[in-house]
Amino acid sequence: MAYSEYLVDRVRNRLTQAGKIEEKKMMGGLLFMINDKMCIGVDIDKKTQNDRLMVRVGKLPYESLLNKKGSRIMDFTGTVMRGFLFIDPEGFDSESDLDFWVEKALEFNKLLIELD
């Protein structure tokens, strides 16, 4: 399996009231699309074999969120994907930390919907 079903369930349970939810398997993980927009995903870091979140936060809060516990740049292809972050387990192991990251992803998702 390319991602943790337990972590997927933890994220899924927080998205029940978020709007139209679609789950897509991509990039070796599972991505949650909210209202047809990429929002948050789960996969496994191939280097460390640890679970991680992929969180879409947008470019404005990106720099400040990089300072949060477990947060780091998202880099799939050798190029930094500004506006997206990887969150390592120390950043989402506690329920309150996972709540924080899901909330940040949903805040940006709402902004995208408003711009449509």
The string of pLDDT tens digits covering residues 84-97 is 999 999 999 999 99
**What is the pLDDT, as a whole number, of residue 98?**
98
Q: In the prediction, which pLDDT does 1 show? A: 56
Per-residue pLDDT at 19: 86
Compute the average pLDDT of residues 12-17.
95
pLDDT (0 to 100) of residue 76? 73
- The answer to whether residues 102 and 7 touch, using CB atoms and an 8 Å cutoff, is no
DSSP 88: -
Report the pLDDT value the prediction gives residue 74, as an integer from 0 to 100: 92
What integer pLDDT is reported at residue 116 of this predicted model?
67
Model confidence, pTM: 0.92
Tell which residue, 102, 88, 95, 16, has the closest CA to residue 48: 88
- Fold held by 5-115: Aspartate Aminotransferase, domain 1 (3.90.1150)
Residue 83's Cβ-count burial label (10 Å; 0-12, 13-18, 19+) is middle
Q: How far is CA 22 from CA 25, 36, 47, 63, 100, in A?
A: 10, 8, 28, 28, 21
Q: 54-92, pLDDT tens digit by residue? A: 999 999 888 899 999 999 999 877 888 889 999 999 999
The domain spans of the chain are: 5-115
